[in-house]
Amino acid sequence: MPRTADHDARRRQLADAVVSLVDGHGLDAVTIAGVAQQAGISVGLVQHYFPSKDDLLLHAYREVIRAGRARIDRRIAEGERHRRPIRDILFDAVTEMLPLDRARRTEYRVSRSFLGRALDNPSLSAVATEHAAAVRAEVSSAIDNGKECGEVAPAVGSGRAGLRLLATLDGLAARLYHEPRARVDSTTMREAVLATTREAIAEVFTGECHHHR
**109 vs 177: CA distance, rounded Å:** 8
Say whether domain 76-202 belongs to CATH 1.20.59.20: no
**150 vs 201: CA distance, rounded Å:** 14
* pLDDT at 15 (0 to 100): 96
Does the pLDDT at position 19 exceed 60? Answer: yes
**70 vs 65: CA distance, rounded Å:** 9
**3-class secondary structure, 178:** helix
Mean pLDDT of the chain: 94
**3-class secondary structure, 183:** strand
Distance separating the N- and C-terminal Cα atoms of the chain? 54
The share of the chain scoring above pLDDT 90, in percent, equals: 92
* Burial classification of residue 107, based on how many CB atoms lie within 10 Å of its CB (0-12 exposed, 13-18 middle, 19 or more buried): buried
* pLDDT at 62 (0 to 100): 96
What average pLDDT does range 45-59 have in this prediction? 93
What average pLDDT does range 74-94 have in this prediction? 96
* pLDDT at 2 (0 to 100): 53
* pLDDT at 1 (0 to 100): 43
What average pLDDT does range 76-105 have in this prediction? 96
Contacts of 137 (CB under 8 A, 6+ apart): none
DSSP string, 64-130: HHHHHHHHHHHHHHHHHHTT--HHHHHHHHHHTTS--SHHHHHHHHHHHHHHHHHTT-HHHHHHHHH
pLDDT bucket at 210, cuts 50 / 70 / 90:
confident
Q: Show me where the domains of the chain are located.
A: 76-202
pTM of the model: 0.91
**48 vs 190: CA distance, rounded Å:** 43
